[in-house]
Amino acid sequence: MASERFEESPDYVQSLARSLQVLRAFGHDLPTPSLSELATRTDLSRAVVRRILLTLQHLGYVGMRGRSFFLTPRVLELGFSYLSSLDLTELAQQTMEQLAQKVGESCSMAVLDGSDIVYVLRVPVRRVMSIGLGVGARLPAFAASMGRVMLADLPEAELDAWMQGNTFQAYTPKTLRNARALKTELQNVRKQGYARVSQELELGLCSIAVPIRAGNGCVVAGLNVSMQYNDKAHDRAIKEILPALRAAQPQIEQAIRQGGWAPHVYRRQGL
């Protein structure tokens, strides 16, 4: 693969890659890891992880409490730099707030980043998932409604490469994880212009999403509404939520075109 060839080139900075690997090892399930836990999770030696942590601590991105390490708020600067370049708050916030108020459910926008979607804007009304979702949160693209509307826009060859480079984990018994069935579903999403996911990421949760297109017609983000699953959820999603999403969709797209927003969506393969 191209990524593996680059890693063998003189332009590849291994120390930077390892530092980012350590930063990504912190998470909801491991908020205050020890040196040993970080070494295990990153598959790096304790000596390497120690040097990286000491450097990150010196720069203000990591703190230490006893034998445990934690991320400091300064880490948010990295993400906020990206978000400020998108100017999404100004472009979409008001429309999304109106959408959330109209349907009485949380509304989110995400972009595609390799195998995941990354939340870049969210208007919460109520908490529907067991994990907290906010700006910067990541979910597997293949099992998320916003992920599917973005994947459905990929050229055929690029989508094939994306699917070959990813594994599809079963998050619930309802997760669609067969590659052929997933591709068929993405074809349906492309035709109908929306994606609906029911209890595939978490039992009791469903969502519906529409694509957001830039001025060149390419899908650059997904816009969704998530809600609790019940027997009436499907009908409500199609008859009530989808029309509200489709009403908000052109408003955000127009704001994007007028604002000149053209994000560089990073579609990493196989990560």
* pLDDT tier for residue 43 given thresholds of 50, 70 and 90: very high
Q: How many CA atoms lie within 13 A of 2 on its CB side?
A: 3
Token duo for residue 113: 């980043």
Give the β-pairing of 205-213 and 62-65: unpaired
**CA gap 62, 35 in Å, rounded:** 12
* DSSP assignment of the chain: -HHHHHHTSTT--HHHHHHHHHHHH-BTTBSS-BHHHHHHHHT--HHHHHHHHHHHHHHTSEEEETTEEEE-GGGHHHHHHHHHHHTHHHHHHHHHHHHHHHHTSEEEEEEEETTEEEEEEEE-SS--SSS---TT-EEEGGGSHHHHHHHTTS-HHHHHHHHHT-----SSTT----HHHHHHHHHHHHHHT-EEEESSSSTTEEEEEEEEE-TTS-EEEEEEEEEE--TTHHHHIIIIIHHHHHHHHHHHHHHHHHHT--------S--
When the pLDDT of each residue in the chain is averaged and rounded to a whole number, the result is: 87
More confident residue, 200 or 167: 200
Please name which of 247, 250, 266 lies closest in space to residue 258, comparing C-alpha atoms.
250
* pLDDT tier for residue 84 given thresholds of 50, 70 and 90: low
More confident residue, 130 or 224: 224
User: Using an 8 Å Cβ cutoff, are 143 and 166 in contact?
Assistant: no
User: Exposure string (b/e) for 166-176, b if CB count within 10 Å is 16 or more?
Assistant: bebeebeebbb
CATH superfamily of 78-259: GAF domain (3.30.450.40)
Question: Is a pLDDT exceeding 80 seen at residue 221?
Answer: yes
pLDDT digit string (tens) for 144-198? 999 999 999 999 999 999 999 888 999 999 999 999 999 999 999 999 999 999 9
**CA gap 24, 268 in Å, rounded:** 16
User: Using an 8 Å Cβ cutoff, are 58 and 233 in contact?
Assistant: no
Task: State the pLDDT at residue 151.
Answer: 97
**CA gap 212, 149 in Å, rounded:** 9
Compute and round to an integer the Cα radius of gyration of the chain. 20
* pLDDT tier for residue 211 given thresholds of 50, 70 and 90: very high
Question: Is a pLDDT exceeding 70 seen at residue 88?
Answer: no
Residues 6+ apart with CB under 8 A from 196: 145, 206, 207, 208, 209, 234, 237, 238
**CA gap 121, 244 in Å, rounded:** 18
Question: 2-71: what CATH class?
Answer: mainly alpha
Other Cβ atoms within 10 Å of 3 Cβ, number: 12
Domain boundaries, the chain: 2-71, 78-259
Question: Is a pLDDT exceeding 50 seen at residue 73?
Answer: yes
